[in-house]
Amino acid sequence: MRNLQRFLFLIVNSLFVIKYTIRLGYNPIVFTCLYCLFVLLVWWLLSKKDHYPKIVESKFLYFSVLSLLFIGIILLYCFIDPLKLQIDRWSAIRNFIQNLFNGVYPYAARTHLGGYGSPFPVWQLFHIPFYLLGNVGFGMAFSIALLCIFMVWYFDSYHQAVCYIILLSISPAFWYEVAVRSDLIYNFILCFIAIAAVYKKQLTIQHRTLGLGVLCGLFLSTRLSVLIPFSVFLFPDFLRSNLKQKILFVAITFITFLITFLPFLFWDFKALLFFEYSPVLLQTRQGVPLAIIILLALVLFFSMRWKNDFKLCSSYISIIFIVFISITFLDRMINDSFENNLFSSYYDITYFNMSLPFILFAITNRDMSETHVSKNPNLYSKP
């Protein structure tokens, strides 16, 4: 499984190397091979921690890597004009909040490219502090800072934490998200943090029905695709719960999700539910029937197999994301008679980035025993 996750890491990042070296007029094969060799070298160096423990385990290396990471983010924000980008995820959020503050129905906001935003209310409102600071892209910096703090807390090891951050830092997929001010990857970084925190704190539906229901409802009100990691993670625990706990958990999740939409339902019911480009329709029309059927089968299958091994759980989540997106793209290619290839603007390969936070954890956590995290070996295992 570890080698599979390394392979998926290379596949996801190589997609970006290939796509943008082609656009720049360079040979994609040469640059992809060079990138893969570079990653293999980094993996080899990180695996040799026993030869230089004082360096790898030190806070100095960790904060040095973090400093370089944030300098890179700041430089990209300073030198790239977002209005010249052909990616409008950032303006979908900014213009939503701008409309909200001006008393205009937020989901009627057009992006700088003329499109409409699809994120659900909680994700839009999450960015209000960053909008007030002058740049909704600061949501990325905030999420990465939270991730860095969380990694040290979760692993209780600077070595494990710095490995995760280094792998993130050498991911072209990540830097692409930073450059175009996309919010997709850090939506799933925060999702990963929430799930990992629940795992480490040993929170279960049986004992934290209300809290986990609210948590799931709030994350569901960011993007529907967060259902995948939460379902894989919580389904074994859900089956173990009694009928009352199951009903209560589902009800709290749904009510929390619904409450986040109520202001917009009362504001303009028809625009939210029946407008062609409403967020509900934009998100629910993703995927094709075959892909959705396979998705459900994979979620059910893998949720019953990770058996209290969170590294394995993360691996399965990443596999499901990649399989689902691949099938969706392949179906579209077949229907279009392969008129457009995967590296054309017709396909948004950033959707593969939803898997990246989980892939990084599965790779980083390769030598770490989970027993110190969960004292109950049957906590999330198959009932």
Per-residue confidence (pLDDT) for residue 340, from 0 to 100: 84
Question: In the prediction, which pLDDT does 1 show?
Answer: 73
- pTM for the full model? 0.93
Give pLDDT, residue 337: 83
**What's at 160, amino acid-wise?**
Q
The predicted structure's pLDDT at residue 339: 84
pLDDT of residue 343: 87
CA dihedral 304, 307, 310, 311 (to 10 degrees): -90
Local structure of 356: helix, strand or coil: helix
CA atoms 360, 366, 368, 371: torsion sign: positive
Q: In DSSP terms, which residues pair with 110 in a beta bridge?
A: 116
> Phi/psi class of residue 308: alpha, beta or left (left: φ > 0; alpha: ψ in -120 to 50)?
left
Below-50 pLDDT ranges, the chain: 367-375
Estimate the crossing angle of helix 310-335 against helix 356-364, to 10 degrees: 140
What local confidence, expressed as pLDDT, does residue 373 receive?
45
**Phi/psi of residue 279, nearest 5 degrees:** -60, -35
Q: Would you state the pLDDT for residue 345?
A: 83
What is the per-residue pLDDT for 56? Answer: 52
134 phi and psi angles, rounded to 5 deg: 105, 0
Give residue 46's identity as a one-letter amino acid code: L
